[in-house]
Structure 1
Amino acid sequence: MRSLADVQPQIALGALDGRYRPVVAPLVDHLSEAALNRERVHVEVEWLIHLTDQGVVPDVRRLTADEQAQLRAVVEEFGPDEIAELAQIERETVHDVKAVEYFLKRRLERIVGADAAGLGELIHFGCTSEDINNTSYALMVKGAVEQVWLPKAQALVEQVSGMARELRDVPMLAHTHGQPATPTTMGKELAVLTYRLRRQLRRIGQQDYLGKLNGATGTYGAHSAALPSVEWPEVSRGFIEGPLGLTWNPLTTQIESHDWQAELYADMARFNRILHNLCTDVWSYISLGYFAQVRGQGTVGSSTMPHKVNPIRFENAEANLEVSNALLDVLASTLVTSRLQRDLTDSSMQRNIGTAFGHSLLALDNASRGLAGLDAVPTAMAADLESNWEVLGEPIQSAMRALGAQGVSGMEQPYERLKELTRGRRITGDDLREFVQGLGLPADVEKRFVEMTPQSYVGLAPSLVDYLDRD
């Protein structure tokens, strides 16, 4: 049998780079190996410009505006040729960050000519690899969240919010423990999920992305040994907060502690879990007939049963959310630990960030497409309500309790009397009205409950949806 590993172009091993590539492709610009190398080049370029601009090293000239522009263009134009060249250098160095240093020295020689030898020594000056890597990852993750994942998540939440508003007045039988319960509205239930998802997005949107540049064990040892008169913490802070636009971490070992990543991934995982809850609830509403799925012409629900329309978008989303959370959880739990001043577990672990984001992004896409294919079926919800008049036992016994507390006679044991009427059996509207009329309620209260139906017993559910506009 021919090996598929030999087929050209190469066949993707994973689903994200194969079947689902079009959906997750925007993340490649932020979380791929090539994106990591581009950010490393970016950080090294900005560090060189920062050192020369600030006059950190005596008797070293500043780079001209044109030279700075040409160096930054190396980052902007980073593409296939640069990726291949870096790969070739790394085969020689067997060290990815050192390969970036040598790559940039070549570019610097083309840009500044005779001064390249002196200026080139300031590329990677005082840095350990982790100074470059931690800031590169912070920039990568920041870009992936703010430019790709967060906009997609916000769009989905607004989609759910729009459905909540549209269905705010549509009454629906609730199910607690899978049993008929106090009616609500479909809009209110979707508003609950919207509110939960929004809270997590606010936390994610306020995330700090930390970075450090302080040498091999976080002491500025090489920096201060080479140039003892320089206020290196302030130089580092100015670099991290200035050209990189990150939050400065003043106290680290060789690595930036990654606590911010753990915080972010925990919040993303929580968002994923709430979205998973939405998917399972909507799946259940579809199975109850409360939503009808609108299929495109020619699509197939089942290979053998022509009548079937399967809720595959929500099932796909569930599976991808579970994969994403498995990765986000292990990232959050392992990245906060590093043996003594450094070990390399974080290096391997962080290479899975793109996969974690990719499965979440794929889930967002599937959930959005699934929701877009739904039509509410108010008649099905109304039919379930009509079959469950016993849910009105709750408001009647509650009113009797209030009346009894106010001294109205004949209101004894309201819960027990309604339990005897409704527990374990179905009743009709006529049954309930006959029961109400025999309770001896005040005329206005009796009239209210005689006129009440399961469809009208939704409390404040419709108006609660309006809290989405105050959120």
Structure 2
Amino acid sequence: MPLQETKMTETQETPYQNPLIERYASREMAFHWGPQRRFASWRKVWIALAEAEQELGIAITDAQIEQLKSFENKLNLDAAAKYERELRHDVMAHVHAYGDQCPDARGIIHLGATSCFVTDNADLLLIREALELTAKRLAATIDQMAKFAAEHRDLPCLAFTHFQPAQPTTVGKRACLWIYDLVLDLEAIEHRLETLRARSAKGTTGTQASFLELFSGDHDKVRALEKRIAEKLSFESVYAVTGQTYPRKVDAQLLDALSGIGQSLHKIATDIRLLAGRKEVEEPFEKKQIGSSAMAYKRNPMRSERICALGRFVMSLQSSPAMTAATQWMERTLDDSANRRLVIPQAFLAIDAALVLMQNVADGMVVYPATIAKNLGAELPFMATENILMQAVAAGGDRQDLHEQIRVHSQAAALEVKQNAGDNDLLERLKGDENFAGIDLEAAIDPHAYVGRAPQQVDEFMEAIITPIRQRYSGSDSLSVEVTV
């Protein structure tokens, strides 16, 4: 008997929901990339065009501009969607929808412009504000992590190279390594903000031919139009030359900067995961949080794992704008459009979500000094051997003989640890060797003697690097830090 096909009704089916919106990103960034902000930005660009054209002599009335302004944020998206189904052109659909609301100004909306005039200039507005949100979020994360670093500036811990025990550092100094990566990312984001420009009025292929026609061949007015539109959109300058779009190289540079944040956060979160495995440091774990559905005892570092997942996602997006920039034939091709609609908002959303998580982790990070001291103590006797050797020589011993004795004792102690799972008993072996009589072996393994200038480096880093960032962002509006766990 054939299986009967079951058809689900529309009320039973739910379309795919983007997890970046449903679960991860902040409200600020989620709404920023929503349709309300996007299409209101289109109208902002059209208003700037109409105002500049009027100021330069085009027959546009104050009443027409006021009508456009009165509906800048009162969007009739249903009407635009209906027009788009008929016209198959998103920009013209919104021109008609805007014109329905502003009948007196219908004839001057989009005057002399091409689609990329409105879409590219609006995208640059959205990118600028998203960069500003990202910079604030980065600064807040840096601030929170800096508090953690300062608190643990002089807590000695085992350092690692090749993930093998190395000369000790401090918990605070290690945190400064994390923070400095984010500081460099903040500099990259600020640079992208400083160098972002308007596309302004460039025309269909970047030649400004339509605007030259509009102004009856007056080149000065076309140049003035371009400058005035940029100023009305709060840009200090415009891209010197363009094809139909602003240079897609800009998008590639943007994703480089966002990917850089993802790289830094991935590295930090990985370190926290490794330290959690050593039971030295843990991310926050809520009172009723479940670490595993099967293993009730577990405290999985899920926030850090999610940070890694989101950071890796953004790193994977980096290649798309690079390929888009590389394949823009002549003055432009339209294969950039769908890709950009996906990549740029989602890169910002994912980085925003990862920064929210990292700020949360830094705010509640748990440190276990006793475990840190135990793990360091298991390795410190080996690291102290050079100091012990020098003290024994200073007490009158033969350097070569003493070196051989330490080598023998060290190898035996290492064998005890590796083969028998015993404790590092090197210190006890040296205490029982008359060659090292009179040496204060306990003082020789004081961990503070092996961290160099780590505490002072933390202090200097706070003063030289963190304080200026805190001052730059001291007046910033606070952003939401709600985490969906």
Fold in common (TM above 0.5) = yes
Provide the rounded CA distance (Å) in 2 between the counterparts of 1:285 and 1:464. 22
Structure 1 position 101, deviation (Å): 2.0
Change (3 A) 1:438 1:28: closer
Identity within the alignment, %: 23
Are 1:215 and 2:242 counterparts?
no
Distance 1:294 1:196, change over 3 A: closer
Assess if the C-alpha contact under 8 Å between 2:154 and 2:455 holds in 1.
yes
Distance in 1, Cα, partners of 2:433 & 2:227: 76
Instruction: Report the alpha carbon displacement of residue 260 of structure 1 after superposing the two structures with TM.
Output: 2.3
Q: Could you say which residue in structure 1 is the equivalent of 2:226?
A: 236
Check whether the contact 1:293–1:309 (CA below 8 A) recurs between aligned residues: no
Cα pair 1:262 1:336 within 8 Å, conserved = no
Distance in 1 between residues matched to 2:154 and 2:236, nearest whole Å? 46
**Match in the other structure for 1:392:** 384
Counterpart of 1:470 in structure 2 is: 464
Aligned to 1:90: 84
SS class of match (1:175): strand
CA 1:379–1:40: 2 relative to 1, 3 Å:
same
Cα 1:47–1:391 change in 2 (3 A) is same
Residue in 1 that maps onto 2:74: 77
Q: For the residues of structure 1 that align with 2:286 and 2:202, how far apart are their CA atoms?
A: 57
- Using the TM superposition, give the Cα deviation of residue 83 of structure 1 relative to its aligned residue in structure 2, in angstroms: 1.4
Query: Per-residue deviation at 1:332?
Result: 3.8
Q: Does 1:266 align with 2:256?
A: yes
Are residue 284 (structure 1) and residue 274 (structure 2) matched?
A: yes
In structure 1, distance between residues paired with 2:434 and 2:219 = 87
Q: Hey, what's the Cα distance between the residues in 1 that align with 2:208 and 2:336?
A: 22
Are residues 3 and 288 of structure 1, via their aligned partners in 2, closer, same or farther at CA, if it must alter by over 3 Å? farther
Corresponding residue of 2:10: 6
Change over 3 Å in CA distance of 1:461–1:234 after alignment to 2? same
CA deviation digits over 1:235-283, x for unaligned, max 9? Answer: 2123123334264012111111122222121011111101100000011
Contact 2:248 2:324 in 1 (8 A): no
Tell me which residue corresponds to 1:457: 450
Task: Tell me how far apart the structure 1 counterparts of residues 40 and 197 of structure 2 sit (CA, whole Å).
Answer: 19
Gaps of 5+ in 2: 416-423, 466-485
Extract unaligned runs of 5+ from structure 1.
Answer: none
Equivalent residue letter for 2:427: G
- C-alpha distance in 1 between matches for 2:146 and 2:403: 37
The secondary structure found in structure 1 opposite 2:102 is helix
Alignment match, 2:471: none
Amino acid aligned to 1:211: A
In structure 1, give the amino acid aligned to 2:212. S
| Length-normalised TM-score, structure 2 | 0.81
Query: Aligned equivalents of 1:350 and 1:130: distance in 2?
Result: 13
Cα separation, partners in 2 of 1:464 and 1:396, compared to 1, 3 Å: farther
Amino acid in the other structure paired with 1:363: A
Change in CA separation of 1:418 and 1:233 when aligned onto 2, cut-off 3 Å: farther
Mapped pair 1:123 → 2:109: yes
Relative to structure 1, the CA distance from residue 273 to residue 292 in structure 2 (aligned partners, 3 Å threshold; closer, same or farther) is: closer
User: In 2 relative to 1, CA 241–2 (structure 1 residues): closer, same or farther, beyond 3 Å?
Assistant: farther
AA aligned to 2:83 is I
Q: How far 1:175 moved relative to its partner? A: 1.9
Q: How does 1:4-43 map to 2 (within 5 A)?
A: 6-7=10-11, 10-18=14-22, 20=23, 23-43=25-45
Number of the residue aligned with 1:383: 374
- In structure 1, distance between residues paired with 2:169 and 2:249: 41
Q: How far apart are residue 357 of structure 1 and its match?
A: 1.8
Question: Equivalent residue of 1:351, what SS?
Answer: helix
Counterparts of 1:14 and 1:225, CA distance in 2: 45
Q: Could you tell which deviates more after superposition, 272-281 or 6-15?
A: 6-15
Structure 1 residues 31, 431: closer, same or farther in 2, change over 3 A? same
How many angstroms apart in 1 are the aligned matches of 2:95 and 2:241?
A: 26
Aligned equivalent of 2:158, options 169, 173, 181: 173
Cα 1:371–1:28 shift into 2, 3 Å: closer
Residues 185-243 of structure 1, C-alpha deviation per residue, up to 9 Å, x if partnerless? 11100011111111111220232223222111111112223420242133212312333
Match of 2:183 among 195, 198, 214: 198
Per-residue CA deviations over 1:332-364 (Å, capped at 9, x if unaligned) read 442354111110121111111222222222222
Q: Is the 8 A contact 1:53 1:62 kept in 2?
A: no
- Is residue 97–residue 129 contact of structure 1 (8 Å, CA) maintained in 2? yes
- Larger RCO: Structure 1 or Structure 2 (Cα < 8 Å, ≥ 6 residues apart)? 2
Deviations 1:344-396 (A, max 9, x none): 12111111122222222222223333344431100001111211110224556
Tell me the SS of whatever aligns to 2:71: helix
- In 2 relative to 1, CA 182–44 (structure 1 residues): closer, same or farther, beyond 3 Å? same
TM-score by length of 1: 0.84
User: Residue 100 in 1 paired to residue 100 in 2?
Assistant: no
One-letter code aligned to 1:375: V
Structure 2 residue identity aligned to 1:72? K
Task: Give the 3 Å change call, closer, same or farther, for CA 393–50 of structure 1 in structure 2.
Answer: farther
Aligned to 1:49: 51
Give the whole-Å Cα distance in 1 for the aligned partners of 2:43 and 2:101.
Answer: 11
CA displacement 1:162-188 (0-9 Å, x = unmatched): 111111111101122222110111110
RMSD: 3.1
Q: Is the 8 A contact 2:168 2:451 kept in 1?
A: yes
